[in-house]
Amino acid sequence: MSGSVGDLPPGVTAADWISPEELQLAARNHGMPLEALRYPVTPVGLHYLLIHYDIPAVDAAGWRLVVDGSVRRPLTLTLEELQARPAVTRPVTMECAGNGRARLSPRAISQPWLLEAVGTAAWTGTPLWPLLEEAGVAADATEVVFVGLDRGVEGGVEQRYARSLPVAETRREEVLLAYGVNGQPLPPQHGFPLRLLVPGWYGMTSVKWLERITVVTEPFDGYQQVRAYRYRQVPDEAGVPVSRIVPRSLMLPPGIPDFSSRQRFLELGPCRLEGRAWSGWGPIVEVAVSVDGGGSWEAAELADPPAPHAWQAWSYAWHPDAPGTYELCSRATDASGRQQPTRPQWNLGGYADNDVQRVTVTVPPPAGG
Ligand SMILES: Nc1nc2c(c(=O)[nH]1)N[C@H]1C(S)=C(S)[C@@H](COP(=O)(O)O)O[C@H]1N2
Ligand SMILES: [Mo]
């Protein structure tokens, strides 16, 4: 772990403190303000962002997508040619694998997400597999490598951002080459002119600024595949690759916040707690709510998913019976039986920590009461 935190204020431990490197990343890569959970489709400017290096400069007229490697007919396509292919638009919830990282201790020095690295956008594009079929994927192909235009250095290795998928995953009809979001062309920060979109998988899979798709017959050993995005307990183990999104639910922050602590204040009286829940392992089948920090749980009302990989709305009628401070939690369970844990799930990279959110709200005594 790199980065020094310098002199800390009295009573603050390094684990609680944010380093200048983390602050630099946090200022570049913004999260979705949690009040945006109110929108079924996140407005583009409120969707979270994660950009490892710099947003690349792209000359749209000169840009081409190349499909090569173990294929019978390598292809080169312009943006217009891609847009002339069959198009679909679907809402997809995307979440960064590092969401929750900053709540772990000790934590990896990387993008210090708390809980806000998620968003749901209506992505428009053309299905990937028909294009790969036209190129003619070799019978012995095992993976497909997706390479972005963006370059940088990570872990001392100069690279282009690149990730692979097993061929079987590229056959899923919902995997898209997306050139639009919420009815607009992709903006620069979300991958203009073209990105991969792999619904159900953590965001690192959905390569932005896509330039090349290479079919391979050997396991891809790029940095983002074998070094990053692995569940590891110690640095020198191979680890397990990060893939699909584990279930999470989040709550629309109730009441009003204190500016700096973000502590919530709520008026005494009946209210409705609301939020959204999602998983890459199947639809959410239950969201349970606790108003006593996880001591007791009750089922929330849960809406059907608007589309297979889009988050589901939940709500819960709550009437705090007295002024005081309450710890509100929500916990999602998906159709595969995966359930959010109540304690953090530590790993070296700080990936996929989906332990339940805890929202502290103070209900003051009624004015004049
Ligand atoms: N080329 C490229 N693709 C990328 C990234 C990147 O840095 N470069 N970041 C990945 C990560 S880690 C995530 S979580 C998502 C974020 O997508 P968004 O910024 O559109 O929300 O893009 C992925 N695709
Ligand atoms: Mo990410």
- Write the burial class of residue 154 (CB in 10 Å: 0-12 exposed, 13-18 middle, 19+ buried): middle
Q: Which atom of ligand 1 is nearest to the CA of 148?
A: 1
CA of 51 to the centre of ligand 1 (A): 5
Identity of the residue numbered 281: W
Output the pLDDT for position 6. 61
For CA atoms 49, 53, 55, 59, give the dihedral sign.
negative
Pocket test for ligand 1, best of 93, 149, 208, 227 (most atoms within 8 A of CB): 208
Q: For ligand 1, is residue 47 a contact (CB within 6 Å)?
A: yes
Q: Which atom of ligand 1 is nearest to the CA of 210?
A: 1
CA of 129 to the centre of ligand 2 (A): 24
Residues in the chain predicted with pLDDT less than 70, given as ranges, are: 1-6, 369
Output the pLDDT for position 273. 98
- Write the burial class of residue 21 (CB in 10 Å: 0-12 exposed, 13-18 middle, 19+ buried): middle
Q: For ligand 1, is residue 333 a contact (CB within 6 Å)?
A: no
List the beta bridge partners of residue 318. 271
Q: For ligand 1, is residue 207 a contact (CB within 6 Å)?
A: yes
Q: For ligand 1, is residue 123 a contact (CB within 6 Å)?
A: no
Q: For ligand 1, is residue 284 a contact (CB within 6 Å)?
A: no
DSSP-assigned letter for residue 244: B
DSSP-assigned letter for residue 9: P
Which one, of 338, 334, 282, 346, lies nearest residue 308 by Cα? 282
pTM higher than 0.85: yes
Q: Which atom of ligand 1 is nearest to the CA of 162?
A: 1
Output the pLDDT for position 369. 56
